[in-house]
Chain A
Amino acid sequence: MTVQTKPNKVIVCEGNEAAARGVALARPDVVSVYPITPQSSLVEALSQMIADGELDAELINAEGEHSVLSSLQGACLAGARTYTATSAQGLAFMFEPYIRAPGLRLPMVLGIVTRDVLSPQCVWGGHQDAMLVRECGWIQMYCETVQEILDTNIMAYKVAEHPEVMLPVNVCHDGNYLSFGIARCELPEQGLVDDFLGPKSINWHVALDPERPMAVDPLTGGSNNPGPAMFVRYRMGQTESMGRALRVISEVHTDWGKRTGRHHAPLIEEYRMEGAQVALVTIGSMTGAAKDAVDAARDSGQAVGLVKVKTYRPFPAQAMTKALANVKAVGVVDRSVSFAWNGGPVYQDTLTALALAGQRLPIQSMIGGLAGADITQEHFERAIARVFGLAKGEGSTETHWMNEKD
């Protein structure tokens, strides 16, 4: 699949292969896999690298996703750097160990190749799977390009293993458009990645160490000792670390940018926001077409900008409200649904952040790209027109379904 075309190692590959190559450069000790659409070619690529001796890691072909993540938790507790990836129903079957990892403070990296969840039957891209687990305590970063997938998978280990974070990380990339989308991609040198990541950082607080035998994951809560206070301290520690993760993610992206020349926005990316009267908020691979639509609108004199969410958990509320401080209306485009609010999850977070900052302005949830639906430049041009309408007090802020008639 891959051709190295230049001395600086330019490859052409799909997003799933880019993820596999990024992970391999991070040298995981244990990789545990179970295939599912659209993740399969990712774990096939990793399995092939291990079979070929290109990646020196233990491969566990588990009987299902619950065992995949459970086996990796054991490996992580024993001090291994681990990796797996999944999608949709696979993530659902993984849920029990998934929800346990953040409280155990395991610095794991788990790729979510995003896909809409059943029912109705659908194997195509949407963010519903990753969004359904947004409150579980994992850090979540969403990629826009094939290159960003490769780079973010490497950076994810540095974030997860940072002593001030020690939390598991989801690197999310869009099923279909990114998983199978092929693009030019720069492959960093192994030495550069080794130097960037430094020695593997193990969470010794929970490590299974024969020299220091200890109980891991103690029983907390209840009316007797140790009582709920211990549980509360664990929870507070998790949320404090999530807060610190925002700074660490920024530092790690800056470091990576200096070493590679590839500066990905760590929390949010502000695109043509200078002097913008209205803004779109986007997440994931849709952003490319949205930027093209913003350029076209700017060319015709319309002052519109765009804010892309890279880090979704923890939510970069301050960065978001600062970016939207001077606009008169916002349209937030989600690739998934919040059933509680009849809108999108990113919309909900943006709304909350703006409300906390005391910024009152018309904001509309726009839901697109479900079930692999294409969100084209034309869709975004119509979205921009809609948001300009809101700024003038025209139109409703009720949720808009972008692909309702596609």
Chain B
Amino acid sequence: MTEIRIHGRGGQGTVLASSVLAQALVEEGKYVVAVPSFGFERRGAPVAAFLRVSDREIRAMTNIYHPDIILCIDPTVGRTVDIFAGMGPGGTLVQSTKAELDAVKLGPNVAKVGLCDAVTIALKIFNKPITNSVMLGAFAKTTGMVKLDSLKAALETTEFRDAGLKQNMDAIAQGYEGTIVHTVGGHA
């Protein structure tokens, strides 16, 4: 069982990203359960979504308190929320940021980091800083848990409010290409 917590802000498509990722992982034969955190979805307010992935059926429909992977699709939400809360040793962080590794805030148990300047890519593609699709590409590159083709297949059946399918396909591909993966701490 792998537990993934997605952090973002209202309006960036955090919950939609969890849905697309869930569909892609099911496409690859996995069992997945995704539960969004509950709040009023105001634009800009911190939001989270919780995703469990397993080769076997998953029963717990609960939030995630000890994530193995943190996918943070917003560069600044980590200032107001402790995105690393509960992460155990050997964790993975996939972070939207312009910064280099030495300037990125890391939790004590992060062993692997994927960094992607998702805002720049999103502005280029969508003219808006909507980073969810870009960061799904970054997730695929960093974790190797899901194929780009599976993400693209999931996108094909997803309805987007702010952009078209082709733009989102590009976003995933450029997010994948634009992500640099680092090993830190040495116990990945």
Taking Cβ atoms with an 8 Å cutoff, the residues of A that contact B are: 1-5, 10, 12, 14, 124-125, 145, 174, 176-178, 180-184, 285-289, 291-292, 372, 374-377
Q: Interface with A: B54-62, B140-148, B170-178, which one?
A: B54-62
Known: A145-B61, A177-B61, A184-B32. 8 other contacts (CB 8 A): A3-B153, A180-B35, A181-B33, A183-B58, A288-B60, A289-B60, A376-B62, A377-B60
Q: Known contacts A289-B59, A289-B62: does B31 contact A184 (CB below 8 Å)?
A: yes
> Contacting B36 at CB < 8 Å: which of A174, A180, A286, A289?
A180
Interface residues on B, range: 20 to 34
**In the complex the two chains form, what is the Cα distance from A265 to B36 in whole Å?**
28
Known pairs A1-B159, A5-B27; A289 contacts B34 (CB<8 A): no
Give residues 1-58 of B contacting A (CB, 8 Å). Answer: 15, 18-19, 22-23, 26-27, 31-36, 38, 58
A178 to B38, CA, bound (A): 12
Q: In the complex the two chains form, what is the Cα distance from A3 to B159 in whole Å?
A: 11
Residue of B nearest to A174 (CB): B61
**Which of B33, B62, B157, B159 is the one whose CB lies under 8 Å from A182?**
B33
Known contacts A1-B158, A184-B32; A374 and B63 CB within 8 A of each other: yes
A5 and B60 within 8 A (CB): no
Distance of A244 Cα from B49 Cα, bound (Å):
43
User: Ordered nearest first, which 3 A-B pairs have the shortest CB separation?
Assistant: A288-B59, A182-B34, A12-B23
Contact with A along B61-102 (1 / 0, CB 8 A): 111010000000000000000000000000000000000000
Q: Is B111 engaged at the interface, CB distance under 8 Å to the other chain?
A: no
Whether A1 contacts B32 in the complex (CB less than 8 A), given A176-B38, A376-B62, A377-B60, comes out as no
Cross-chain contact B61 with A3 (CB below 8 angstroms) = no
Instruction: Indicate if the CB atoms of B38 and A182 lie closer than 8 Å.
Output: no
Report if B154 contacts A (CB, 8 A).
Answer: yes
Q: What CA separation (Å) do A374 and B158 show in the bound complex?
A: 28
What's the least CB distance linking B147 to chain A, in Å? 13
Q: Which residues from B are CB-within-8-Å of A14?
A: 19
| B62 in contact with A377 (CB, 8 Å) | yes
CA of A285 to CA of B58 in the docked complex: distance in angstroms?
Answer: 12
Q: Are A182 and B22 in contact (CB under 8 A)?
A: yes
Query: Which residue among B19, B31, B154, B159 has the maximum number of chain A CB atoms within 10 Å of its CB?
Result: B19
Q: How far is the CA of A178 from the CA of B62 in the complex (A)?
A: 10
Please give the distance in Å from A87's CB to the nearest CB on chain B.
14
State the CA gap A176–B40 with chains docked (Å): 12
Contact A1 B19 (CB under 8 A): yes
- Are B35's CB and A181's CB within 8 A? yes
Select which of B15, B19, B59, B63 is within 8 A of A291 by beta carbon: B59
With CB as the reference atom, state the residue of chain B lying closest to A14. Answer: B19
- Contact: B154 with A3, CB < 8 Å? yes
Is A181 touching B154 in the complex (CB atoms < 8 A)? no
CA distance A178 to B34 in the complex (A): 10
In contact, B32 and A183 (Cβ under 8 angstroms): yes
* Distance from A389 Cβ to chain B, minimum over Cβ atoms (Å): 24
Instruction: Please name the residue on chain B nearest to A176 by beta carbon.
Output: B38
In the bound assembly, the distance between CA atoms of A180 and B18 in angstroms comes to 11
CA distance A53 to B60 in the complex (A): 36
Closest chain A CB from B2 CB (angstroms): 15
CA distance A177 to B34 in the complex (A): 9
The one of A124, A145, A374 that contacts B62, using a Cβ cutoff of 8 Å: A374
Whether A177 lies near B35 (C-beta < 8 A) is yes
Residues of chain A within 8 A (CB-CB) of B18 are 182
Residue numbers in B under 8 Å from A287 (CB-CB):
59
Contacts of B19 in A (CB 8 A): 1, 12, 14, 182
Q: For B26, what are the chain A residues with a Cβ–Cβ distance below 8 Å?
A: 3, 5, 10, 12, 184
Beta-carbon contact of A12 and B38 below 8 Å: no
User: A176 CA to B62 CA in the complex, in Å?
Assistant: 10
Q: Once the chains are docked, how many angstroms separate the CA of A389 from the CA of B26? A: 42
User: Is A289 within 8 A of B61, CB to CB?
Assistant: yes
Determine the distance from Cα of A116 to Cα of B154 in the docked complex, in whole angstroms. Answer: 34
Q: What is the CA–CA distance of A361 and B154 in the complex, to the nearest angstrom?
A: 52
B60 touches A3 (CB 8 A): no
Q: Name the B residues within 8 Å of A182 (CB-CB).
A: 18-19, 22, 32-35
Q: How far is the CA of A201 from the CA of B159 in the complex (A)?
A: 37
